[in-house]
Amino acid sequence: MERQTRQLLGTLADDLTDDLILELSRGEMLETELQQRMSSSRQTIGRRLAELELWGIVVGEERQTPGRGRPTRAWRLTSAEITGFLGRADELLLRLLEERARRHREAIRPPADADRVRRLRP
């Protein structure tokens, strides 16, 4: 499995990603609103949103806040179908890991005639 694939699956299987996708499935939200609803730090949420944006799962747009202050970003899912994947990333990752473990067990399993070969040698 390629490194990027493992990275994406790890991101999708994370609880924070599940929480963000769930919140954004309700509609567009400001980053400050997401930060208020989550137990993770502001920096962690911002990094995860940026990562999800790179993968094309969410999109963020600059928004000017009312009054003075820094602009914030409004986030939304790129597709409604993404919510159908919510919670299934863990299952997919588990199946991939099980398949990898099965292949590994087969690769290290001694051949069926291993005992016979040993008996023939002095």
Q: For the segment 41-60, what is each residue's pLDDT rounded down to a tens digit?
A: 999 999 999 999 998 889 99
Q: What is the pLDDT of residue 115?
A: 60
Strand order in the sheet with 72-77: 29-30, 72-77, 58-63
User: Looking at residues 100-106, what average pLDDT do you find?
Assistant: 81
Query: CA-CA distance, 30 to 60, in Å (whole number)?
Result: 9
CA 46 to chain centre: 15
- Structure-block tokens of residue 59: 């999109």
User: Given a cut of 90, is residue 105 above it in pLDDT?
Assistant: no
The pLDDT, as a whole number, for residue 72 is 83
Of 6-15, 64-73, 86-95, 111-120, give the lowest mean pLDDT range.
Answer: 111-120
Average pLDDT of the chain to the nearest whole number? 81
Tokens (6 digits) for 91? 């299952």
Give pLDDT, residue 52.
Answer: 92
Which CATH number does 3-120 carry?
Answer: 1.10.10.10
DSSP 72: E
**DSSP summary character for residue 110:** P
